Amino acid sequence: MPQCPICKSEAEEFDLGLFDGAAFDCKTDGRFRVAGTVFALPQGWSRWQWENALTIAKRVGAPGALPLIKSDYL
């Protein structure tokens, strides 16, 4: 089972068609997307950094759209 990149708990990963990245549905962190560029960078971010990136993604995203965590936010 895939895991949430933020809290590391089990999460459903779902397909968004041609989207270059991954989309997650986590019981703790909700539904969000992660850009492919994030996975291309060296890993090792803290949970706080991920949570902060999700907060930024929610703030700058369009109303009703899934938040998108970009590499700039980490």
CA neighbor of 35 nearest in space, from 3, 2, 74, 71: 71
Does residue 1 have a pLDDT over 90? no
Question: pTM for the whole thing?
Answer: 0.89
Domains in the chain: boundaries: 11-69
pLDDT at 42: 84
pLDDT digits (tens, 9 = 90+) for 15-67: 777 788 999 999 999 999 999 999 888 878 899 999 999 999 999 999 999 99
pLDDT at 62: 93
- Which strands form 68-69's sheet, in the order they lie side by side? 11-14, 21-26, 30-35, 68-69
pLDDT at 24: 96
